[in-house]
Homo-oligomer: A and B are copies of this chain.
Amino acid sequence: MTANTKPRKPHILVCNDDGIEGPGLHALAASMKKLGMVTVVAPAEHQSGKSHAMTLGEPLRIRKYLKNNHFFGHTVSGTPVDCIKVALSHILDEKPDLIVSGINYGSNTAMNSLYSGTVAAAREGAIQKVPSLAFSLTTYENADFTYAAKFARQLAREVLRRGMPPDTILSANIPNVPEKEIRGILCTRQGRSRWEESAIERHDMYGNPYYWLAGSLQLHDDDIAEDEYAVRQNYVAVTPISCDMTDHRFRSELETWGLKSTFKK
């Protein structure tokens, strides 16, 4: 036997959407270091709500970020999806074995998943054929990432062992409670809860109006199979999110519309 038979440590790329200073990113990176070699590439600025946006028409900057005077990772002056693209094309020498995104401040359940930069970073990883996971903690206040970081490591280890199907990710939402209060792990689907929109109108010093987007989450989930409901019952909710957004059920119905003949009129 040669030294080469020793299993190579997995290489894990860590990203988020709260930006390089997000405590959830640091908790996730520290947890992943127990599994393998970690590279951090995160947005230079807060990028919540940026979904799968990429930066076109303006250049991106890559900078080194120090933590306690030691190199911690790279920042990219763009979105979470930009981070993944630039990491794979310019920062990493090899394709990583795994991409993990988070741990996000605030849940990415139900319709929130559509707006989430955390989920999108992982999805960009899947598009680039790297097994990818997203993690979110269900709170904006008094966040304790201890159990979430441990769970992330458990799920990451499982995915490194099993692999992932193409074009899909796992998005895990973890309740912000101590581990002993976690009731279990559920495989969930994206719930139906959504934001009731309102935009707050204010006026500037010239009397001109401006608007802040705001809203409140309207709960429509009442089934433990739905991620938003599951996390409210203190379950960890693991939802597989596909890169294929086709509504396959409606597609069958659409075939019956007879679009072709309708439009020949």
What's the Cα separation between A56 and B19 when bound, in Å? 14
What's the Cα separation between A12 and B116 when bound, in Å? 28
Contact of A245 among B114, B184, B262 (CB under 8 A): B114
Q: Interface with B: A3-11, A26-34, A120-128, A136-144, which one?
A: A120-128
Of residues 69 through 118 on chain A, the ones whose CB sits less than 8 Å from some CB of chain B are: 79, 81-82, 85-86, 88-90, 111, 113-115
Tell me whether B51 and A52 are in contact (CB under 8 A): yes
CB nearest to A59 among chain B residues? B210
Contact of A199 among B49, B86, B243, B251 (CB under 8 A): B86
CB nearest to A60 among chain B residues? B211
Contact of A211 among B59, B81, B202, B243 (CB under 8 A): B59
Contact of A115 among B49, B54, B113, B254 (CB under 8 A): B54
**Contact code string A177-207 (vs B, CB < 8 Å = 1, else 0):** 0000000110111101010011101100000
Tell me whether A240 and B212 are in contact (CB under 8 A): no
Q: In the complex, how many residues of chain A place their beta carbon closer than 8 angstroms to a beta carbon of chain B?
A: 80
Name the B residues within 8 Å of A49 (CB-CB).
Answer: 53-56
Given contacts A59-B212, A168-B247, 18 further A-B pairs with CB under 8 A are A51-B81, A52-B115, A54-B213, A82-B213, A85-B197, A85-B199, A90-B211, A113-B245, A114-B123, A128-B197, A154-B262, A158-B259, A158-B262, A168-B250, A170-B254, A185-B263, A240-B246, A241-B245
- A residues whose Cβ falls under 8 Å from a Cβ of B: 46, 48-57, 59-62, 79, 81-82, 85-86, 88-90, 111, 113-115, 120, 123, 127-128, 151, 154-155, 158, 162, 165, 167-168, 170, 184-185, 187-190, 192, 194, 197-199, 201-202, 208-213, 238-248, 250-251, 253-255, 257, 259-260, 262-263
